Amino acid sequence: MNKKYLYINTIGCQMNVYDSEQMIRCLKPLGYEISQSIEAADLIIVNTCAIREKAEHKAYSFLGRLPGLKRKNPDLIICVGGCVAQQEGRMILGRIPYVDLVFGTHALNRLSEHIRNISLKRCRIADVEMTREIMEFSSSGVPAACDEVSKFVTIMRGCDNYCTYCVVPHVRGPEISRRPESVIEEIRELVGSGVQEVTLLGQNVNSYGIKEGLCSFPELLKLVNEIEGLFRIRFTTSHPKDLSEDLIAAFAGLEKLCSHIHLPVQSGSNSVLKRMNRKYTRELYLEKIDRLRKISPDIAITSDVIVGFPGETEDDFKATLDLVKEVEFDSLFTFGYSDRKNAPAARFPDKIPDNVKNERLRELLELQEYYTLKKNSALVGSTELILVEGFSKKQDFQGEQEGFTCVHWTGRTSTNKIVNFVDENSLSGDSTLIGKRIEVKIEKAFSHSLLGKPVDSKPMPVGVIGEESYAA
């Protein structure tokens, strides 16, 4: 079979990263191999995100760069997948004449069939059909690359929550969970190919399995925790309204579960939360934070906040700032509200002007920066157990450390903080620390990372720690 090259541009969340990996898997039997060069590609896929206007623009601007490549190589196949594909469907084929395939979020397992047809017949296809079945892929075939330490595993798709600002239920469909056996099998295979950490993905992992009568999410975590050779478990996202006592207890009971929860609050104002259809109050949210910190005092808590939701008053925004001060998040993802087609809030009155939104964003970011640095600085002098993921990005250090000549490694703490460090033994570049578990003494804190030195130049052997010396 002739070797063919596939270039994928993945825009958006971790779920899209996972879906892109499934696309690579599906296309492997057709002879496609991933390429980092767009010019060399025989097949280009843009896996799109519709969550905010900005992400949608990014997809169209990428597509705008492609007609030259198609002119040079008329056999080139150009595909649009993901949430924008689901939302716009056939309209994309009408608007962009050089696109060959539009495939929605439920068409992933029909991708190879469509590519085969396009190659043979040079037809154009739009497939945005939604199904009630969860897509299960055979997990055999493409193991994780040898230097991949951490992987995403989607455990459920879609969402039933219908937050009024959000497009996800409209483009990903109703919530549906994968069978636990299938999730466990996939993780076992990943571990077999060297993966040590998995992040379980779902729009609201707390409701995993409920509709289908499968096991609960805390029960699934217990099963994952038993997988031999796996070092760390993370998950995202947890909806505050459904964060159960059992899940909170898992932070104390499961040694592989990392000490970090991403718990999106969206707003600190009860009136905004109500109009967002979030189904919890500020008070309930704070109560859950309290419970988490009682069970796991060092747990890192991160969140998402939307500013400038329609009708958000100065008092509403102040309530958000107050909540941020009260919780002291480890870090925060902040978003300016963006109207989304199909999402009810697009039709809400009292839209907030961009200049007000931007000013509120700036104020919120400045406040959070203070707490992020405060949390990071508190770790200076401590020793943290790091799972090494690879080389750090040089720019993190520029101007902050003189004489940047040696190898800098990067990894994460259980609390999901990035730690960069130098290992004297790997200066010559002849040994790799990727996948090693190393204790690092933290010497400096920045707003997005920490800098330290390994306490012992010998990395801890894989499999020795994790069970006892490391407790999340």
d(CA 20, CA 45): 9
162 binds, among ligand SF4, ligand SAM, none (CB under 5 to 8 A by kind): ligand SF4
Of the candidates 306, 291, 208, 277, the one whose C-alpha atom is nearest the C-alpha of residue 249 is 291
Tokens at residue 462, please? 């894989």
Residue 288 in contact with ligand SAM, rule: CB under 6 A: no
Which of 161/182 has CB closer to ligand SF4? 161
Provide, rounded to whole angstroms, the least separation between the CB of residue 163 and ligand SAM. 6
Which residues 372-391 are close enough to bind ligand SAM by CB under 6 A? none
The number of residues that bind ligand SAM (CB under 6 A) is 18
Which of 238/426 has CB closer to ligand SAM? 238
Query: Any idea of the CA torsion for 456, 458, 463, 464, to the nearest 10 degrees?
Result: -50
Residue 51 in contact with ligand SAM, rule: CB under 6 A: yes
Residue 303 in contact with ligand SF4, rule: CB under 6 A: no
Which of 338/376 has CB closer to ligand SF4? 338
Q: Strands across the sheet with 300-307, in order?
A: 260-262, 300-307, 331-336
Binder to ligand SF4 among 162, 193, 341, 467 (CB under 6 A)? 162
Provide, rounded to whole angstroms, the least separation between the CB of residue 161 and ligand SF4. 4
Binder to ligand SF4 among 115, 128, 163, 388 (CB under 6 A)? 163
Q: What angle do CA 82, 86, 92 make, to 5 degrees?
A: 95
- SS3 assignment, position 461: coil
Of the candidates 446, 448, 303, 467, the one whose C-alpha atom is nearest the C-alpha of residue 385 is 467
Tell me the residue type at 464.
Answer: V
- SS3 assignment, position 190: helix
Tokens at residue 364, please? 């919120």
- Across the strands, what pairs with 307? 336
Residue 304 in contact with ligand SAM, rule: CB under 6 A: yes
Binder to ligand SAM among 239, 260, 412, 436 (CB under 6 A)? 239
Which residues 198-227 are close enough to bind ligand SF4 by CB under 6 A? 203-204
Tokens 């379980």 sit at which residue? Answer: 200
CB 237 within 8 A of CB 447: no
Provide, rounded to whole angstroms, the least separation between the CB of residue 262 and ligand SAM. 8
Provide, rounded to whole angstroms, the least separation between the CB of residue 243 and ligand SF4. 13
Residue 156 in contact with ligand SF4, rule: CB under 6 A: no
Residue 335 in contact with ligand SAM, rule: CB under 6 A: yes
Residue 173 in contact with ligand SAM, rule: CB under 6 A: no
Neighbours of 269 (CB within 10 A): 24
Which residues 223-262 are close enough to bind ligand SF4 by CB under 6 A? 239
d(CA 151, CA 190): 8
CB 394 within 8 A of CB 404: yes
359 binds, among ligand SF4, ligand SAM, none (CB under 5 to 8 A by kind): none
Which of 204/331 has CB closer to ligand SF4? 204
Which residues 388-447 are close enough to bind ligand SF4 by CB under 6 A? none
d(CA 201, CA 152): 7
d(CA 169, CA 161): 7
Which residues 330-389 are close enough to bind ligand SF4 by CB under 6 A? none
169 binds, among ligand SF4, ligand SAM, none (CB under 5 to 8 A by kind): ligand SF4
Binder to ligand SAM among 16, 86, 164, 237 (CB under 6 A)? 237
**Helices (runs of H) and strands (runs of E) counted in the chain:** 14, 19
Provide, rounded to whole angstroms, the least separation between the CB of residue 166 and ligand SF4. 3
Binder to ligand SF4 among 13, 159, 273, 418 (CB under 6 A)? 159
Residue 266 in contact with ligand SAM, rule: CB under 6 A: yes
CB 446 within 8 A of CB 400: yes
- Across the strands, what pairs with 454? 440
Q: What is the DSSP string of 269-295?
A: -HHHHHHHT----HHHHHHHHHHHHHH
Residue 264 in contact with ligand SAM, rule: CB under 6 A: yes
Residue 190 in contact with ligand SF4, rule: CB under 6 A: no
Helix runs in 245-352, H state only: 245-253, 270-276, 282-295, 314-327
How many Cα atoms sit within 13 Å of 415 on the Cβ side? 20
Which of 100/175 has CB closer to ligand SAM? 175
d(CA 112, CA 117): 9
Which of 50/224 has CB closer to ligand SAM? 50
Tokens 């030259």 sit at which residue? Answer: 68
Binder to ligand SAM among 340, 360, 408, 417 (CB under 6 A)? 340
Which of 98/348 has CB closer to ligand SAM? 348
**CA 393 centroid distance within chain:** 19
One symbol per residue from 144 to 163: x for binding ligand SAM (CB under 6 A), - otherwise; what is it?
A: --------------------
Positions touching ligand SAM (CB under 6 A) are 13, 51-52, 165-166, 168, 203-204, 237, 239, 264, 266, 304, 306, 335, 337-338, 340
Positions touching ligand SF4 (CB under 6 A) are 159, 161-163, 166, 168-169, 203-204, 239
